[in-house]
Amino acid sequence: MPAQAKPAKAEVSTARPASPPLTERQEARRRRILHASAQLASKGGFDAVQMREVAESSQVALGTLYRYFPSKVHLLVATMQDQLEHMHGTLRKKPPAGETAAERVAETLMRAFRALQREPHLADAMVRALTFADRSVSPEVDQVSRQTTLIILDAMGRADPGPRQLSAVRVIEHTWHSALITWLSGRASIAQVKIDIETVCRLIDLTEPEE
């Protein structure tokens, strides 16, 4: 007789349980917190964002702030997602004009890069938080990645990309975030960032499906 298969071990999920949708009042409170975080980071970078000051500036109790965001890293990564979402809305109002998907994505990412360049302290704080993020911040980091993917896909004009195109998008995301880090640390100029972005965006044309 064949040996009986052993029952599979139950996998332990490390993901946080899904939170119920926020009420209108809770969403308004969350918006105030993110605005306060961005304002403080814009003035003094990562170190300037202190949870007590964020609570005071957004007019919420410190305990309430920690229920929304368990740490400063959670808060700043969520702030980055919020900033990218705002950029996405701005980019949609004035879509890129490049002829190819690669040109449009490169133009879009450089416009987003220049928006961050105008707020270097804020950009540094958000990127540092993204770098420091551990597994507990995975949901917030995933939101940043999804928002960046949406921005790239919109520029490509692809709502249903194939596996090879999604792989190219991931490489482009990695390069864009790496370019931010090297620019913020003074190891790359804007001109170098532009060349790197334009180079990696050529992957899009290489992965375009044949007609």
Mean pLDDT of 121-135: 95
The answer to whether the beta carbons of residues 126 and 80 sit under 8 Å apart is yes
What's the one-letter identity of residue 2?
A: P
Q: What is the pLDDT of residue 38?
A: 97
The answer to whether the beta carbons of residues 82 and 144 sit under 8 Å apart is no
Mention every residue, 6+ apart, whose C-beta is less than 8 A from residue 157: 101, 104
Structure tokens at 197: 């972005």
The answer to whether the beta carbons of residues 173 and 149 sit under 8 Å apart is yes
Q: Which residues of 117-132 are buried (b: 16+ CB within 10 A; e: fewer)?
A: eeeebbbbbbbbbbee
Q: What is the pLDDT of residue 159?
A: 79
Where are the alpha helices (H) located in the chain, listed in sequence order?
Answer: 24-44, 51-58, 62-68, 72-93, 101-117, 120-132, 138-156, 163-184, 190-206
Euclidean distance between CA atoms 5 and 16, whole angstroms: 31
Mean pLDDT of 86-107: 92
- The mean pLDDT value of the chain amounts to 89
Max CA distance (Å), the chain:
73
Q: What is the pLDDT of residue 158?
A: 84
Mean pLDDT of 115-140: 94
Q: What is the pLDDT of residue 29?
A: 95
Q: What is the pLDDT of residue 19?
A: 63
Q: How confident is the model at residue 20 (pLDDT cuts 50, 70, 90)?
A: confident
